Amino acid sequence: MSVQFDAHDAAFLQDPYPTYDRLRLENPIFFDAESGLWFCSRYEDVDFFLRDRRLGQAIDPSLLPEDKTPVPAEQSSFARLGANSMFDMEPPDHTRLKKLVHKVFTPRRVNRLRDSIQAITDDLLNQAQEEGRVDLLDSFAAPLPVQVIAELLGVPQSDRYRLRPWSQAIVAMYELDHTAAEEEQALQAADDFSNYLRDLARRRSQHPRDDLISDLALVEEAGDQLSEDELIATCVLLLNAGHEATVNVIGNGLLALNNHRDQWQRLLDDPALIDTAVEEMMRYDTPLQLFRRWVLEAFEYKGLSFLPGMQLGLMFGAANRDPAVFPEPHRFDIGRDPNPHLTFGAGIHYCLGAPLARLELQIAFATLLRRFPHLELLDSPPVFRPKYVIRGLESLTVQL
């Protein structure tokens, strides 16, 4: 029988990498009837499909079976977020929106956040230090990216507590096995978040401030502007993508460092390795294990026929441990270079927030190790959440 995998199996979720090794060797592209996905585990295939324009994030509903036809945008805030998000668009709409957003969300703006990120990091760690024994996910990893994105967007301090629950509810819909209750929570979160951002954007367009929401509300290119729905979807995308990736790289990365104390010591001895260390953490235990793409045009690939309406499941976690690209892929090496991991994707849908995520992670880990070189993990062993697509720990209890 061909090797497949069970995305609900506790042992697989705790450590999927031995299964990925077998998939790459014995069954690198296969169809899974339960999910309706064609899974791909080799780097070569995942990278190819990410860049191939015969596949996309968005698809004409007429190409889909009846049971997969999405709710029309006007009927759901959640669907409207997707319909107006760069993440789910294809050219020429994607090109137009990306051009407008990149005009104000620039590397210079990201770099201007450096001092704010450091201040937020220090403040969160000061509070954690007072406790001594803390869940570092709840006390540090989760609030850090939320506070940074809130600062970037211009969300008032008094409202920032709302952002994380909204984000968590919405991203639960990207799992393979989301429940009816999770779907209801996501729809409500999309309503609440959209209404909040709509009100804030209208206030900022009337009374602009030095924040990204003001700039997005006013940005113009050759007479073109973002619609209100596009602005809202862009803000939600920045929060959701940036929040989940950063939280879980901090958790998964700290666990990897703890399990490889030689690399921990190596980073303590040579802090200049922080950039390559962060890249290796993202590769070694990838926070987003799966990325989906629709087939838009019929084509043949490696003897297989792909037709419009089919959907591919690109296994980032498997691709990032492919020995054809990464020598000794199961070795955690904070100096690994080159490191062409696919954690942020590839092609036109390469992650919008990648520069910001990298900056947050570099500051977070550099500060953690400088202040707490003898940090001790107390969860034994740490347990991963029972979800497949977004890979992260249940908790990360430490003694500072």
Neighbours of 156 (CB within 10 A): 8
CA dihedral 183→185→191→197, nearest 10 degrees, is -120
Q: At 92, is the secondary structure helix, strand, or coil?
A: coil
Share above pLDDT 70 across residues of the chain, in percent, rounded to a whole number: 96
Burial of 86 from C-beta contacts in 10 A (0-12 / 13-18 / 19+): buried
pLDDT tens digits, one per residue of 106-148: 999 999 999 999 999 999 999 999 999 999 999 999 999 999 9
Burial 110-133 (b: 16+ CB within 10 A, else e): beebeeebeebbeebbeebeeeee
* Alpha-helix runs per DSSP H in the chain: 10-14, 17-26, 43-51, 77-83, 93-104, 107-112, 114-131, 136, 143-153, 163-171, 180-206, 212-218, 228-259, 261-269, 274-284, 316-319, 354-371
Tally the C-alpha atoms within 13 A of residue 76's C-alpha that lie toward its C-beta. Answer: 17
Q: Is the pLDDT of residue 65 over 80?
A: no
pLDDT of residue 2: 63
| Beta bridge mates, 398 | 134, 377
pLDDT of residue 1: 45
Query: What architecture is domain 10-399?
Result: Orthogonal Bundle (1.10)
Confidence of residue 58 (pLDDT cuts 50, 70, 90): confident
Q: Sign of the CA dihedral 31, 36, 38, 39?
A: negative
DSSP run (H or E) holding 56: strand 55-56
Which residue would you say has higher pLDDT here, 171 or 39? Answer: 39
Question: Which residues, 6+ apart, have CB-to-CB distance to 85 below 8 Å?
Answer: 233, 234, 236, 237
Q: In what order do the strands lie in the sheet with 37-40?
A: 29-32, 37-40, 311-315, 290-295, 55-56
Confidence of residue 66 (pLDDT cuts 50, 70, 90): low
pLDDT of residue 73: 44
pLDDT tens digits, one per residue of 162-213: 999 999 899 888 888 788 899 999 999 999 999 999 999 999 999 999 999 9
Average pLDDT of every residue of the chain = 92
- C-alpha 119/C-alpha 131 separation (Å) is 19
Confidence of residue 243 (pLDDT cuts 50, 70, 90): confident
Which residue would you say has higher pLDDT here, 74 or 386? Answer: 386
- C-alpha 214/C-alpha 218 separation (Å) is 6
For tokens 């770099």, name the residue. Answer: 111
φ and ψ at residue 86, rounded to 5 degrees: -55, -35
Domain boundaries of the chain, sorted by first residue: 10-399
- C-alpha 313/C-alpha 39 separation (Å) is 5
Confidence of residue 239 (pLDDT cuts 50, 70, 90): confident
pLDDT tens digits, one per residue of 288-301: 999 999 999 999 99
| Beta bridge mates, 306 | 299
The CA-to-CA distance between both ends of the chain, in Å, stands at 49
**Taking Cα atoms as reference points, which of 102, 54, 32 lies closest to residue 315?**
32
- C-alpha 119/C-alpha 13 separation (Å) is 35
Confidence of residue 150 (pLDDT cuts 50, 70, 90): very high
Calculate the CA 230 to chain-centre distance: 20
Per-residue pLDDT, averaged over 235-255, amounts to 90
pLDDT tens digits, one per residue of 10-33: 999 999 999 999 999 999 999 999
- The answer to whether the CB of 69 falls within 8 A of the CB of 61 is yes
